[in-house]
A and B are shown apart, each in its own frame.
Chain A
Amino acid sequence: MNSTFPAIRAFEADYARARSRARRVQTFYSVIFAAAVLYSAYLGGFFGFTDVTLASGERVSMLKLWAGLPRLGEYLEKTIPTLRLETLGADLAEWFWRWRTWLQLLGETILIAYGATVLGVTGGFLLSFFAARNLSPGKILCQITRRYLEIIRTVPELVWALIFVFCFGVGPLAGVLAIGLHATGSLGKLYSEANENIDMRPLEGIKASGGNWLQQMRYGAVPQVIPNVISYTLLRFEINVRSSSIIGYVGAGGLGQEIRTTVSLQEYPDLSALFVIIFVTVMIIDFASEKLRHKIIGIAESWT
């Protein structure tokens, strides 16, 4: 039937050609992708072998990946505490046997997160006006601020912590500064994006009535971005609590130092107890900050 319509025939031939070309391109990229996966699996040690002693005492060479899985199961099993229904109270007391120290360290962790959030909010908020394309007083200043924020958030908190532990000594101060610096970078970016989305007319009004740059920001921009700023800040506080719970691993205070000792001394149930403590804390903060956020955004919206 197609033979009676040359136009359709030509179309079908074209279609078949386009299909086969698309298929060739797809195959080409799939092969490259598969090669990349295989090569990185090789580099990542997926095909590495390790010696394992079997139950019978015989030593064999085994794929690392395969040999590790049972050990992983064993490890996780050891972290599960023994909880019996009849002696639940005593078992729980044994599981959380260091609760006084842990609670104190948890307080330190939250305090680190709070201090870091305050630092990050202050720094990020001030810099966000220079980093916003529509508000920045100068193009070069804008670029410099943007690069600075980008660099301080690309370097992970743990690396900043290593640097600050060297400068300020072992302790929570280094943690506050490290997380605060990283948070400045992330919050500065989020705030400056909020700044770029504002309505410019209030600022023009203030400019027209003789306001300088500072007054334009204070009375034109800030009232518009406050709900966003609060919302991002509360989200960041939660992230900072997680970060500060681990930052002690390199000596920067908080629960992380306890995690480090627990892992190196192989106190398995302690690890799960610490995990429960962090999990519950983050959950409570998450819940509370959501409630607070809705309330504050509600109040802020009623102003406008």
Chain B
Amino acid sequence: MMHGTLPHRAKELNEARSLLPAAFHRSPSKRLRNGAIGAALIAPLVYGAVVFGVTPARLVEGLSRLGGILSFMFPPHVWTTWQEWSEVLAGLGETVVMAFLGTLLGAVASLPLAFLGAKNIMPLSWLRLLSRRGFDALRAVEQIILALIFIRAFGLGPLAGILAIAVSEIGTFAKLFAEAIENTSRRPVDGVKASGGSQFQAIRYGILPQSLPVILSIILYNFESNARSGTILGIVGAGGIGFLLADRMHAFRWPEAWSIIFLIIATVYIIDAVSNTLRHRLI
């Protein structure tokens, strides 16, 4: 392109090329290496396409079906009776309630646990590492698997969902809270201790005021993310809007399904906005 627009520069370019060959050519070994990396990255895709039976015909058929159900998106379906509306709104409310209580319970349970995992509070390294690994193990279990287990114990409904969110949040919260506690300054603690405070008072007046804003902001962030992820718990029967959504999809009532998805997105937006304002006011 440059040659075309600037023909009088061709001579200079040739000169530069002979002076600095490395800037214009890649060495064969480098080219070979890049090619090998590229092939290694593409090979699993090709293998996957073969194993998963991905054929152009199947893709075209699927995309045309997708186009078909996407066409139900606009104009969105509007329910006409209050009964239908109240069902959907109750589902949405249940999802928000589940996210709210699950996050709250998780936070309350993990605050004391976090001190067990914080380096500057817990001097016993074996206990600290043990609690840290415990948090990791809790985080490793998917929320939806927890929900399946809790449904067996507590029956279908939001209670199972709330407890699933709470338990999986303990793993996340305890880790993040412990890090927030570790990031505090030692000096207020020394001050409290120097004026005769106990270990408990040192934590209450020296560490908590420093870490509380961070902890509150973590809680609000996770509330948002639980409101998003909580929508799927209903698909397995653990309460909330997900149940209605899955129900509409299984019945191929796509216009209604899209409307529910739109309402979920709107709810998440509102929660985002509210928690943003709260975060700015609290911190």
Q: Which A residues are closer than 8 A to B by beta carbons?
A: 36-37, 40-41, 43-46, 48, 50, 64-65, 68-69, 71-72, 75-76, 108, 111-112, 114-115, 118, 151, 154-156, 158-159, 162-164, 166-169, 171-173, 176, 210, 242, 245-246, 249-250, 253, 259, 263, 271, 275, 278-279, 282
Cβ B249 vs Cβ A163 within 8 A: yes
Cβ B145 vs Cβ A259 within 8 A: yes
Shortest C-beta distance, B150 to chain A (Å), equals 7
Chain B interface secondary structure, helix, strand, loop or mixed? helix
Chain A interface secondary structure, helix, strand, loop or mixed? helix
- Chain A residue with the shortest CB-CB distance to B97: A40
CB-CB under 8 A from B8, the residues of chain A are none
Shortest C-beta distance, B76 to chain A (Å), equals 14
Shortest C-beta distance, B72 to chain A (Å), equals 11
- Chain A residue with the shortest CB-CB distance to B148: A263
Shortest C-beta distance, B129 to chain A (Å), equals 16
Which residue from B44, B144, B159, B265 sits with its C-beta under 8 Å from A46?
B159
Cβ A111 vs Cβ B265 within 8 A: no
Cβ A111 vs Cβ B149 within 8 A: no
Given contacts A44-B162, A72-B150, contact A114 B48 (CB under 8 A): yes
Cβ B44 vs Cβ A68 within 8 A: no
Interface 0/1 of B150-167, CB less than 8 Å to A: 101111011100100000
Interface 0/1 of B60-104, CB less than 8 Å to A: 001101100100000000000000000000000110011011001
Count A-B pairs with CB separation below 8 Å: 147
Which residue from B47, B65, B159, B264 sits with its C-beta under 8 Å from A45?
B159
Cβ A159 vs Cβ B261 within 8 A: yes
Cβ B52 vs Cβ A253 within 8 A: yes
Cβ A111 vs Cβ B101 within 8 A: no
Cβ A169 vs Cβ B94 within 8 A: no
Q: A44-B98, A114-B45 are in contact. List 15 more A-B contacts (CB 8 A).
A: A40-B97, A43-B94, A50-B155, A111-B44, A111-B51, A112-B48, A158-B235, A159-B242, A162-B235, A162-B245, A172-B48, A172-B52, A173-B62, A249-B235, A279-B137
Shortest C-beta distance, A268 to chain B (Å), equals 10
CB-CB under 8 A from B104, the residues of chain A are 37
Which of A75, A115, A163 has most chain B Cβ within 10 Å? A163
Does B119 interact with chain A (Cβ within 8 Å)? no
Cβ A68 vs Cβ B145 within 8 A: no
- In the assembly, what is the distance between CA of A253 and CA of B157, in Å? 27
Which residue from B41, B98, B145, B232 sits with its C-beta under 8 Å from A159?
B232
- In the assembly, what is the distance between CA of A68 and CA of B152, in Å? 9
Given contacts A64-B154, A155-B264, A242-B142, contact A115 B159 (CB under 8 A): no
Which residue from A76, A111, A168 sits with its C-beta under 8 Å from B48?
A111
CB-CB under 8 A from B142, the residues of chain A are 242, 245-246
Can you give 8 contacting A-B residue pairs, CB < 8 Å?
Answer: A48-B157, A68-B159, A111-B48, A156-B232, A159-B245, A167-B66, A173-B58, A282-B140
Cβ B158 vs Cβ A45 within 8 A: yes
Cβ B101 vs Cβ A44 within 8 A: yes
Does B229 interact with chain A (Cβ within 8 Å)? yes
- In the assembly, what is the distance between CA of A162 and CA of B62, in Å? 13
- In the assembly, what is the distance between CA of A242 and CA of B63, in Å? 26
CB-CB under 8 A from B232, the residues of chain A are 156, 158-159
Does B246 interact with chain A (Cβ within 8 Å)? yes
Cβ A279 vs Cβ B140 within 8 A: yes
- Chain B residue with the shortest CB-CB distance to A153: B228
Does B268 interact with chain A (Cβ within 8 Å)? yes
CB-CB under 8 A from A40, the residues of chain B are 97, 100-101
CB-CB under 8 A from B245, the residues of chain A are 159, 162
Cβ A65 vs Cβ B154 within 8 A: yes
Cβ A156 vs Cβ B141 within 8 A: no
CB-CB under 8 A from A50, the residues of chain B are 155
Cβ A169 vs Cβ B45 within 8 A: no
Q: Which of B237-267 contact A (CB under 8 A)?
A: 239, 242, 245-246, 249, 252, 261, 264-265
CB-CB under 8 A from B149, the residues of chain A are 72, 75-76
CB-CB under 8 A from B127, the residues of chain A are none
CB-CB under 8 A from B56, the residues of chain A are none
Which residue from B5, B153, B155, B162 sits with its C-beta under 8 Å from A75?
B153
Shortest C-beta distance, A107 to chain B (Å), equals 9
- Chain A residue with the shortest CB-CB distance to B54: A173
Cβ A64 vs Cβ B235 within 8 A: no
Cβ B69 vs Cβ A168 within 8 A: no
